[in-house]
Every structure is written in structure tokens, then in C-alpha cells.
Structure 1
């Protein structure tokens, strides 16, 4: 089965409200050059460095401790 045939099969199984949402998403993807570029971009397979892994773990630790700012605080909208 081709991807197009499988897509048709899946779409045919969607309830109408879900089909409408999928339609809007696909039209957006088709009509937005940035969305299309992102969807077409190759997977980033560059290996993560030890420094990057440490930075991510540090950020996760901050979140676990609650040491974060709200969006309002970041944008100064208190």
C-alpha cells in the first residue's frame, strides 16, 4: 500500500470534526513555506555533546526544583 493510499484510508476513518482539523493542518502545512521547510528538513542526526547533555540535565534539575519563571515574569507582565 502506498503512503497516499494509507493516508486516504486513515482520513476515511476519521469522524467529521477530526477530518476538519486534519484538513486545516494539512492546508497550513501546504501553504506555509516555513512549515513546509520544517516538515521537509532532514532529521538532525548530529551527536549530542557531553556539554549539551549536562546543560539539559541542569535545566531539568531547575524545573524539578521549581526554579523557573512564568511567561508573565519573562515578559515583565506581572
Structure 2
């Protein structure tokens, strides 16, 4: 399959802003040519395709509700609270 950088750039330009952090993490896998076997294993690990349990679904819903309600902490605040 012949794919050009321009085609990839065009697709990236269509990605919603809210999804950019996820896309960036994914794309970095291809540019981080690391010799670290753990990083390589993580980058090549298969996706988790097991269905979510009801408990997991509830936990995700609770987390999403927390985000919507603003019940979150910044990384800096959390580090400060943990004394890091």
C-alpha cells in the first residue's frame, strides 16, 4: 500500500482536539526507536480485547462523571499532595 506523508497529515488534521493526546502517545511508539526490551514489548503488546466486566464499566462511568463535574486534580496538584 502506497501511503504518503501528506495523506497521513490530512487525516491527522481531521482528528478532534480532544483525541490528540491519545494519538500522540500512539504515534510516538513508531518514533521511539528504543533498545529497551520492556518498551519494545509494551509497544508490540496486543490490545486488550476482553469484554469489560460490569464493575469495570461502572468504574469508567464514575470516572467520566468525575471529569464532567470537574472533580479532577492536575498532575502538579497531585504531586504536591503526595509530596513528590
With normalisation by structure 2, the TM-score equals 0.55
Tell me how many residue pairs correspond in the alignment. Answer: 60
Q: Paired residue for 1:42?
A: 46
Q: CA offsets, 1:16-43, max 9 Å, x none?
A: xxxxxx8x81523xx2212210122222
Structure 2 partner of 1:27: 33
Spell out structure 1 runs of 4+ moving beyond 4 A. Answer: none
Return 5+ residue gaps in structure 2 as ranges. 7-27
Give the root-mean-square deviation of aligned CA atoms.
Answer: 2.8
3-state SS, counterpart of residue 51 of structure 2: coil
Of structures 1 and 2, the one scoring higher in RCO (CA 8 A, sep 6+) is: 2
**Unaligned runs of at least 5 residues, structure 1:** 1-5, 16-21
Q: Which structure is larger by alpha-carbon Rg, 1 or 2?
A: 1
